[in-house]
Amino acid sequence: MKVVILAGGFGSRLAEETDVRPKPMIEVGGMPVIWHIMKMFDHYGLRDFIIALGYRGDMIKSYFKNFAKNHSHVRVDLSTGDVSYTDYHALNWRIDLVDTGQATLTGGRLKRLEPFIGNEPFVVAYGDGVSDLDIGGLVDFHKAHGKIATLTAVRPTARFGHVEFEGDRVREFSEKPQTAEGWINGGFFVFNSTIFDYIEGDYVDLSREPLERLTREQELMAFKHYNFWQCMDTLREKFILESLWESRNPPWKTWKD
């Protein structure tokens, strides 16, 4: 099953970082967040990636083109000019890096990838969020219900603490609890190839018209994820992920080193 990662946005809310790099290349624990996302899929045996590029896509191309060189010891024989790499832990990944336009919206980026995907179901992820999502369970759920599309529904941690009162007395206080209600789109999907019929062109937001129409036609299902999920839209959220990584037990790290 192919995995599409949407990695072309401007990341304007992270301008301190994205002025010089695309958001998927912002590092957490010394590795770009897109690497963390791909490791999540690798853990479930999904290793055939298509990355939709846009803003500063050349940096993502360069990163993967030079991945072996930058993650190994390099031996240079100046007498012959030969260069070899040692102590490289190979990743069994195949990656198509596809330019999908600078101003193209998420639906349009996906539409441009149609020739690379074929007729089989495929997974889509945004290039800025991590989770301990059961990806195998998500795929099985999609195959079982027979609809066109599945989104992952998550309940994010509240940004602020929660207070309940009895009169003016604080009856209950909890710091940043998970919301009891308010499910949101977590940015991990499984689609049948029919999804392309719901996207007209470059300026379609995947989370708007296509999903709204699928909802009206009763072709959109939700896989509810109750555990860890975190996007990286702001510097504050980047620092949250960094702190979790430094704890040496980050909740999205389901793989073994």
Q: Out of 55-59, 98-102, 175-179, pick the least confident.
A: 175-179
> Percent of the chain, pLDDT > 90?
77
- Number of structural domains found in the chain: 1
Looking at residue 169, its pLDDT comes to 67
Looking at residue 16, its pLDDT comes to 82
Residue 213 falls within a domain, yes or no? yes
Residue 165 falls within a domain, yes or no? no
Looking at residue 168, its pLDDT comes to 62
- Tens digits of per-residue pLDDT, 175-212? 655 555 578 999 999 999 999 999 999 999 999 999 99
Residue 23 falls within a domain, yes or no? yes
Residue 164 falls within a domain, yes or no? no
Q: Does the structure show a pLDDT above 90 at 86?
A: no
- Which structural domain range is residue 225 located in? 2-151+183-246
Residue 20 falls within a domain, yes or no? yes
3-state SS record for the chain: CEEEEEECCCCHHHHHHHCCCCHHHCEECCEEHHHHHHHHHHHCCCCEEEEEECCCHHHHHHHHHCHHHHCCEEEEECCCCEEEEECCCCCCCEEEEEECCCCCCHHHHHHHCHHHHCCCCEEEEECCEEECCCHHHHHHHHHHHCCCEEEEEECCECCCCEEEEECCEEEEEECCCECCCCCEEEEEEEECHHHHHHCCCCCCCCCCHHHHHHHHCCCEEEEEECCCEEECCCHHHHHHHHHHHHCCCCCCCCCCC
Residue 158 falls within a domain, yes or no? no
CATH code for position 9: 3.90.550.10
Residue 163 falls within a domain, yes or no? no
Residue 161 falls within a domain, yes or no? no
Q: Does the structure show a pLDDT above 90 at 170?
A: no
